[in-house]
Chain A
Amino acid sequence: AQKITQTQPGMFVQEKEAVTLDCTYDTSDPSYGLFWYKQPSSGEMIFLIYQGSYDQQNATEGRYSLNFQKARKSANLVISASQLGDSAMYFCAMSSYSGGSNYKLTFGKGTLLTVNP
């Protein structure tokens, strides 16, 4: 079974500092995708970044980067130069094969990030 583990229920970071949110996954499929979503207090789910299992380079999107270590099955999110607006719940998710030609997205429990001024 596919599994996503986020071991940090909550994290604190000072404004303008960098922060790493941990994510490990478990799958036996060779083809999968890893996503990070942000959920602010308003409740919507906002896509941040994607990493494919065959991608050779770590994904980057502005201040977000994904530290992908395939052998260790980890896909940590790095947020550089934290801003107060980064305070939110962050979810790691994995898209993996679920039969036929279909894939499912499995989410971790999330990490609540608080950025302090």
Chain B
Amino acid sequence: DAGVIQSPRHEVTEMGQEVTLRCKPISGHNSLFWYRQTMMRGLELLIYFNNNVPIDDSGMPEDRFSAKMPNASFSTLKIQPSEPRDSAVYFCASSFGGPSSYNEQFFGPGTRLTVL
């Protein structure tokens, strides 16, 4: 079975450019999470969706970041305009049954973003 799919795996862009990260969750999962991982801040939850609806976006750093989930099998995380401090690994994860105390999250391979 296919796991969580993320694209691109690596992205190098220049400051000011728009960046779009993509995620396909595991089929049948109805919760999707976007995380950012940096050396300084560790792994941070940016936003999560349940049944395609954004539930909590309090982790989104600022208005330059936006996320959408137009259907159950696709989500995007967009940064516009990008800045060097956005350089990080961005993970998408999915789980079944909603974010609960016992639902395991399955992570994608991550997108390594470098903003020059």
The B interface is mostly helix, strand or loop, or mixed, namely: strand
Neighbour of A107 across the interface among B42, B55, B102, CB < 8 A: B42
Q: Bound state CA distance, A103 and B100, in angstroms?
A: 5
The interface stretch among A15-23, A44-52, A62-70, A71-79 is A44-52
The interface stretch among B17-25, B65-73, B103-111 is B103-111
Q: Report A-chain residues with C-beta under 8 Å of the C-beta of B105.
A: 35, 47, 105
Pairwise interchain contact A103-B101, C-beta atoms closer than 8 A: yes
Q: Bound state CA distance, A96 and B43, in angstroms?
A: 16
Expressed in whole angstroms, the minimum distance between the Cβ of A30 and any Cβ of chain B is: 10
Q: Is A95 close to B, CB under 8 A?
A: yes
Which B residues lie at the A interface, using CB under 8 A?
33, 42-45, 48, 50, 55-56, 89, 91, 93, 98-110, 112
Q: Bound state CA distance, A32 and B99, in angstroms?
A: 11
17 A–B contacts from the bound complex (CB under 8 Å) = A33-B101, A35-B104, A43-B109, A45-B91, A45-B93, A47-B104, A47-B105, A47-B107, A50-B104, A96-B101, A98-B56, A100-B55, A101-B98, A102-B55, A105-B33, A105-B99, A108-B42
| A-B CB contacts (within 8 Å), total count | 70
Expressed in whole angstroms, the minimum distance between the Cβ of B17 and any Cβ of chain A is: 23
Neighbour of A53 across the interface among B55, B101, B110, CB < 8 A: B101
Pairwise interchain contact A44-B107, C-beta atoms closer than 8 A: yes
Pairwise interchain contact B110-A43, C-beta atoms closer than 8 A: yes
Pairwise interchain contact B107-A45, C-beta atoms closer than 8 A: yes
Q: Bound state CA distance, A50 and B103, in angstroms?
A: 9
